[in-house]
Amino acid sequence: GAVVSQHPSWVICKSGTSVKIECRSLDFQATTMFWYRQFPKQSLMLMATSNEGSKATYEQGVEKDKFLINHASLTLSTLTVTSAHPEDSSFYICSAERYNQPQHFGDGTRLSIL
Amino acid sequence: SQQGEEDPQALSIQEGENATMNCSYKTSINNLQWYRQNSGRGLVHLILIRSNEREKHSGRLRVTLDTSKKSSSLLITASRAADTASYFCAPMTTDSWGKLQFGAGTQVVVTP
C-alpha cells in the first residue's frame, strides 16, 4: 500500500532554532501534500496545502513566514518552522494524496521547543 | 471540505463487543471518509463511502450514510484491544477533494 515517510519523528531544540521536517511519498507520486498540526488531546488542524512546483496555500491564521513549505518534487515536501518558540511545540503530521484518492498520512513529528 | 462532528467523544468497551460512533455534518457531500489515529501516530484511512451509497463494509467495519439526516455511523464489530484509537470522520464536498477538516473525534478504548 501507499507509504508516506515523515522525518524526523521527534525533535527537541532550543528556542530560536529553525526546524525542518520532511515528508516523502515512498511508492507513489503525490499530486498534493498537506501539513497538519495537532495539540495534545485535540484534533488535527490543517495548516497548509502544497502542490509540487507552486506556492503553498495556507489556512487562515497560519503564518506563511513562520511555517515555510517547500514542495520540490512529487515525492517530497518540507515544512520549516522558523525561529521556533515553545508555543510552536506540537505534533506535526503530513499527508500525501494521489489524484482523487484518499490521503495517506505520515507518522508525525513531535516537536518540543525548550 | 467541512468539519464533521463525531459522537460520542469517548467510548469504552470490552473486547468482543461492538463499538458504534456517529458523525454529523452540515452541507451536501460528495463522499465521507473515516480515519483512525493510534496514539502518537498519523491517521490511517479506513473507509470511504460515496453520497450515493447507503452502506459499506470493510472487514469488521461497517459504515452507513444517511444523506437526508446528514449523518454517518461507523460500527466496529467484535472489537479488539488493537482497535483502541481515536476515530475521525471527514465529509468531503465536491469543490475541494483534498482538504480534510477534522472534528474532535471519538476516542475508543477497548479493554481486554
pLDDT of B33-60, one tens digit each? 999 999 989 999 999 999 999 999 999 9
**Given B41, B100, B105, which is nearest A108 (Cβ)?**
B41
B44 touches chain A (CB under 8 A): yes
Chain B: give the shortest CA distance to residue A41, in Å: 8
Other Cβ atoms closer than 10 A to B110: 20
Q: Which of these, A30, A37, A66, lies nearest to A51 by C-alpha position?
A: A30
The size of the A-B interface in CB pairs under 8 A is: 51
- Which residues of A lie closer than 8 Å to B, measured between beta carbons? 4, 6, 32, 34, 42-46, 49, 91, 93, 95, 97, 100, 102-108, 110
Least confident of A40-44, A90-94, A98-102, B101-105: A98-102
pLDDT tens per residue across span A47-88: 999 988 888 999 999 999 999 999 888 899 999 999 999 999
DSSP-assigned letter for residue A55: P
Decide: B60 and B74 in contact? Cβ < 8 Å.
Answer: no
Dihedral sign for Cα B24, B25, B28, B32, please: negative
